[in-house]
Structure 1
């Protein structure tokens, strides 16, 4: 079973599996919530590679592995897009 969780500091919402939710709910600023259709993009990000929870370093490592050019000069959002584009091209 999967759950919607919300970070009360950033107000971001993610759709995560039960195991991930259990780990995250140990943090004071994470709580269960109900999701809505406006969160579809975030759900797709989580399903495609957990972008929403990956650090910049982790995204850079993934980009390096798949051969994204200029990955080291990209911010998190640019890396997410580049990795998503590369995954779609395969």
Structure 2
């Protein structure tokens, strides 16, 4: 469920139960996107992007970073390319730094 903080105008996706509790507070309102409105994926949290990816059955979505999730959801690359890109980035990040020359 999408909710919006009326003070900050920030929107985010929360589980339905949490959304129902928030909507009882005057500072929150429902922000469910209409079917015809475009959503800027870059504004969504990784959690919201993963929820969308799960709904679209994107394989390996759990391990994708935000950029890879956006690309996969936009169809800019295949799901397999997104997973491969995320995994190769992880392996680069995990390589030990070169030891200083003596």
- TM-score, normalising length: structure 2: 0.37
Whose helix proportion is higher, 1 or 2?
A: 1
- Larger RCO of the pair (alpha carbons < 8 Å, separation 6+): 1
The answer to which structure has the higher strand fraction is 1
Q: Give the number of the structure whose alpha-carbon radius of gyration is greater.
A: 2
